[in-house]
């Protein structure tokens, strides 16, 4: 039986990691293994991620797969799984400053997902805060953190006074903004 390759799609969450390597594999088993890896990342279960990666034939993960999984970890703020990948426990160590197909580094992905723990882990691994996205917007991670819709910071001077705006901002979780602004200042100096 020849395995059927699925076309990758940005809207298909299971296409986030195409982990099938060997054409002799049973497609149902490879899809199940891929789904199990994604589920382990979603649950931030390092032990499950290690176990499921061994299920892929006992091979170490290649660089492309490790990079895709790191971006997935950053989407879900799965810092335990991200740490396992970044320490090479699953094979190839993903590059923290490498752009994915969408033109974003893992740090951009973590910032967009408001994944504070992954942002901290990536900065400890020397993720660069001066890299811009290659998605047409050309934004720094700091700029992404400020424009992230999850902050819900909207201000119109005609609607609110400066004092009301400052009160509104102090109620928001700006941890990622603070981390990135400190690191971005270091680069500027």
Which CATH class name applies to 31-188? Answer: mainly alpha
- Model confidence at 101, pLDDT cuts 50, 70, 90, reads very high
C-alpha angle with apex 54: 113 to 4, nearest 5 degrees? 80
Please state, for a pLDDT cut of 70, what percent of the chain lies above it.
Answer: 73
Q: Over the stretch 114-151, which tens digit does the pLDDT of each residue have?
A: 999 999 999 999 999 999 999 988 999 988 887 765 55
Q: What is the pLDDT of residue 57?
A: 66
- Report the chain's mean pLDDT, rounded to a whole number: 80
For the chain, the structural domain boundaries read 31-188
- Check whether 6 has a pLDDT greater than 60: no
Phi, psi for residue 91 in degrees, rounded to 5: 130, -130
């Amino acid at each position: 039986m020849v395995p059927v390759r699925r076309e990758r799609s940005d809207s298909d969450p299971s296409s986030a990691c195409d982990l099938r390597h060997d054409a002799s594999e049973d497609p149902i088993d490879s899809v199940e293994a891929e789904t199990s890896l994604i589920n382990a990342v979603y649950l931030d279960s390092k032990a499950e991620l290690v176990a499921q990666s061994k299920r892929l034939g006992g091979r170490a993960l290649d660089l492309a797969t490790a990079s895709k999984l790191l971006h997935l970890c950053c989407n879900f703020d799965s810092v335990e799984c991200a740490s396992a990948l970044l320490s090479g426990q699953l094979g190839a160590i993903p590059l923290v400053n490498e752009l994915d197909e969408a033109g974003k580094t893992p740090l951009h992905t973590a910032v967009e997902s408001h994944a504070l723990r992954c942002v901290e882990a990536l900065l400890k691994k020397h993720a660069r805060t001066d890299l811009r996205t290659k998605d047409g917007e050309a934004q720094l991670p700091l700029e992404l953190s400020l424009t992230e819709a999850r902050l819900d910071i909207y201000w119109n001077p005609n609607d609110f006074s400066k004092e009301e705006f400052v009160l509104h901002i102090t109620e928001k979780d700006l941890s990622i903004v603070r981390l990135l602004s400190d690191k971005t200042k270091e680069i500027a100096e």
